[in-house]
Structure 1
Amino acid sequence: MTRALTLIRRRLVGSVFVLLIVVVGTFLLLEAAPGDAVDAYIVSTGGDAGMIELLRHRWGLDQSELTRLANYLWALLHLDLGQSVTFSRPIRDVILERLPNTLLLMVSATALSFGLGSALGIYAGAQPGSFRDRFLSIGSLALYAVPGFWLGLVLIVVFAVDLRWLPIGGIETLASDKTGLDRAADIAVHLALPVSALGFIYLALYLRMMRAGMAEVWRQDFVLAARAKGLSRRRIVLAHVARNALLPLITM
């Protein structure tokens, strides 16, 4: 237990240094780019020299790079991400407002891709070299090569525009006044297309990783020992091969 806690502490300390390097590196890259935030804002909204000078002073862009970096790090330490020019609100509030729907989408897509991808990987890897193994391997490779945005557009055109089976956007039906299970079902219907577009791409990745892991485990000595004991192939696949092949997917 002590060894595990020590490892966790080391990882956390290392993560802090990595995060600091990323933050400082991002700041320096933006500083090296031509122009600044005021230039980008003025291009879209327009303004005279007085407006430009006022905005640079208000946003602290007239200070030195070192001062701005220190202020930036201090603000991040207090979870102050600044003010959104587009929404005229604190960026933290904008993110928190959209975070629940984002997490719902990502968790659903991850569950779909991991669950179905692992199951198909087990199904393919249970009989290496068989027709289903080759079919699923080629299919997953083709699916993984498909751009996610293109797959999303195809799903929208087919299921939302042509067939009209699913809604084209939104998280739920506006002004529906649904509650309980009816609202949950409505949200699930709206999530079907984006979850499928995100999940199918990573499904192919999990399938190939699971299949490759099972191919490696099949050559291990304990699998030969299980065969020598007379265990059924189904039990060997589920209790020994698949269980050990799942470890890289869980820890990735």
Structure 2
Amino acid sequence: MYALLKLILNRLAHAIPTLVGIIVIAFILLSLAPGDVVDILAADGSIQDAATAAAMRAKFGLDQPLPMQALNYVIGVFQFNFGYSPIHSLPVSDLIVSRLPATFLLMASSILLSVIVGVVIGLYAALNVRTWKDFLGSVFAILFFAAPSFWVGLMLMVVFSIKLELLPVSGMVSMRINATWFSQALDIARHLILPTCALGLFYAAIYARVMRAAVLQVSKLDFVETARAKGVPEGAIAFRHILRNAVLPVITLIGLQTGNVMAGAVVIEQVFSWPGIGTLLFDAVLDRNLPVVMGVLILSSVIVMVTNLIVDILYFILDPRIQLEKHS
């Protein structure tokens, strides 16, 4: 327990300066882009004269030197203040909080689907290596790794929404009146199926290949051969000895690819009109709404850091042989 606590504290000690560095660099880079919040307001006619523009720049601190703006922004971020969105006339934090549950739901379901499907197919293919079952697993991995997620999403939409009319085309909820909480949850689940599959199958293909290779490698280790020599059933060997060790590379990949999953969610949310962070970011880029872009960037960084911390903890629990020095 002490070793695990030390690992968590060590990761947090590294995460804080890393996050500050990301905020400062991103803030400076976005500050180099032409225009600011006041220019956006002036472009849509909300500001009519130079005096009002100067007052607005003073209000948002845009008249201060860039280092001071960056320092104030960093302090504000740690107070959950990401600035103000002139397009929405709302604080950026309010916009993010309103969209975050939808994106978390999509990412969590996609990661869960990809891990379950990838691990099962990879394990099954490796246990039946050089058979037609292994061949089918390879076809699945190659097909969904090569196919773009947005194309998979469109094909799923055409088949299951337009042709078969089994699932909703887009959105997160249907237009319902006086719906119970159970029917609302069921309705959200139905809307979630297609975007989850579109986003998750690509990573399932990656995990399937990684899992297959890991299972084949672990199967040749001495402790597996010893278990077979003792007469342990193959099923028990597969799940008790091989699976626990072979799944470690998959867990590592989950942490490494969290940022990619969130980037993929931006595209999938656009395809299915899913009201999450991705849709908010896409609209912010088109509108040059830099405070929102900055807020989403910081949120993405935090999500990646937290996910990597969780992965390190899982890795430490699943393989107690790992020493803290290997995590440092």
Distance in 2 separating the partners of 1:236 and 1:46? 69
Give 3-state SS (helix, strand or coil) of 2:247's partner: helix
Counterparts of 2:41 and 2:212, CA distance in 1: 50
Q: Which residue of 1 aligns with 2:164?
A: 163
Could you tell me whether the CA contact under 8 Å between 2:218 and 2:224 is conserved in 1? yes
Comparing 100-109 with 32-41, greater Cα deviation is found at 32-41
Equivalent runs, 1:202-213 vs 2, <5 Å = 202-213=203-214
Cα distance in 2, alignment partners of residues 153 and 146 from structure 1: 11
Q: 1:36 to 1:128 in 2, by over 3 A?
A: same
Contact map agreement 2:37 2:86 (CA 8 A) in 1: no
CA offsets 1:7-41 (integer angstroms, 9 cap, x no match): 22111100111111111111121133344444455
Looking at structure 1, the residues matched to 174 and 194 of structure 2 have their Cα atoms a distance apart, in angstroms, of: 15
Q: Mapping of 1:171-250 within 5 angstroms?
A: 171-250=172-251
Per the alignment, residue 24 of structure 1 pairs with 24
Q: What TM-score comes out, normalization by structure 2 length?
A: 0.70
Structure of higher RCO (CA pairs closer than 8 Å, 6+ residues apart):
2
Change (3 A) 1:141 1:42: farther
Matches within 5 A, 1:109-188: 109-188=110-189
The amino acid across from 1:71 in the alignment is N
What amino acid does structure 2 have at the position aligned with 1:18?
A: T
Give RMSD over aligned pairs: 2.2
Provide the secondary structure at the position in 1 that maps to 2:166: coil
CA drift at 1:45: 5.6
Greater alpha carbon shift after TM alignment, 101-110 vs 112-121: 101-110
Counterpart-to-counterpart distance in 1, 2:175 and 2:133: 44
8 A contact 2:41–2:47 mirrored in 1: no
Shift in Å, 1:175 = 2.5
Distance 2:216 2:37 in 1: 52
1:92 aligned onto 2:93: yes
Q: Between 180-189 and 78-87, report the one with greater CA deviation.
A: 180-189
User: Max radius of gyration: which structure?
Assistant: 1
Amino acid at match of 2:65: S
Q: How far did 1:140 drift?
A: 0.7
AA aligned to 1:111 is: L
CA distance in 2, matches of 1:65, 1:124: 56
- State the number of aligned residues: 252
Alpha-carbon separation, structure 1, partners of 2:84 and 2:8: 35
- Partners of 1:170 and 1:177 in 2: how far apart? 19
- Matched to 2:30, the amino acid is L
TM-score (norm 1): 0.89
Instruction: Assess, with a 3 A threshold, how the Cα gap between structure 1 residues 118 and 24 changes in structure 2: closer, same or farther.
Output: same
Question: In the aligned structure 1, how far is the partner of 2:165 from the partner of 2:43?
Answer: 40
Runs of 4+ aligned structure 1 residues displaced above 6 Å come to none
Distance 1:125 1:29, change over 3 A: same
Look up the match of 2:66. 65
| Kept after mapping to 1: 8 A contact 2:84/2:90 | yes
One-letter amino acid matched to 1:207 = A
Tell me how far apart the structure 2 counterparts of residues 209 and 159 of structure 1 sit (CA, whole Å). 30
Give per-residue Cα distances to partners, 1:171-223, cap 9 Å, x unaligned: 22213322143332222111111111111112112212211210110111111
Q: Which amino acid aligns with 2:143?
A: A
* SS in structure 1 of the partner of residue 165 of structure 2: coil
Q: Cα distance, 1:49 vs. partner?
A: 6.0
2: distance between equivalents of 1:40 and 1:149? 31
Note the alpha carbon deviations across 1:220-251, whole angstroms, 9 max, x for none. 11111122223332222222212211223235
Distance apart, 1:102 and its partner CA: 2.1
Q: Distance in 1 between matches of 2:41 and 2:149?
A: 31
* Gaps in structure 2 of 5+ consecutive residues: 256-328
Q: Which moved more, 1:155-164 or 1:46-55?
A: 46-55
